[in-house]
Amino acid sequence: MGFLQHEQTLNYELASTNRRKRFFQATGFAALLALVGGISVWAGFETARRTLAIPHAEKGNAPAKGLEPVDANQLSSAAEKTPQAQPSQTLARDRLNSNPPEWGRAELDHLPVQERAQRLLQSAMQGDQRALDLLREDVDGWRGHFKNSEGLFDLVLSALNSADLQVRTAAIDIDLAANNLSKTPQSIDRLLRQMQTDPSTIGMSLWRLGALGNRGVQPERVLHSLLVYAASRNEHTRYWAVEGLGMLGNDATIDPLLTVMAHDASPRVRELAASSLGHAGMLTREERLAAVPTLLNFADDDSLSTATRELVYGTLRVITGAELGNDATAWRQWWANHDPARIKPRQRAGMVRT
Domain boundary among 178, 212, 231: 178
Residues 38 and 134 in one domain: no
Residues 242 and 112 in one domain: no
Residues 168 and 232 in one domain: no
Q: What is the domain extent for residue 276?
A: 25-51+189-347
Which phi-psi region, left, alpha or beta, contains residue 103 (left: φ > 0; alpha: ψ -120 to 50)?
beta
Residues 228 and 336 in one domain: yes
Q: Which amino acid is at 92?
A: A
Give the CATH number, domain containing residue 39.
1.25.10
Give whole-number Cα distances, 36 to 43, 90, 163, 270, 279, in Å.
10, 14, 19, 12, 13
Residues 287 and 248 in one domain: yes
Name the nearest CA neighbour of 294 among 272, 319, 323, 269.
319
Element (H, E) at 114: helix 113-125
Q: Which amino acid is at 345?
A: P
Q: Could you list the mean pLDDT of each consecutive 10-residue stretch along the chain, which spans 354 residues?
A: 46 50 50 53 50 35 31 32 37 40 64 84 89 89 80 83 92 92 96 94 95 96 97 97 96 97 96 95 94 95 94 96 93 92 54 41
pTM above 0.85, yes or no: no
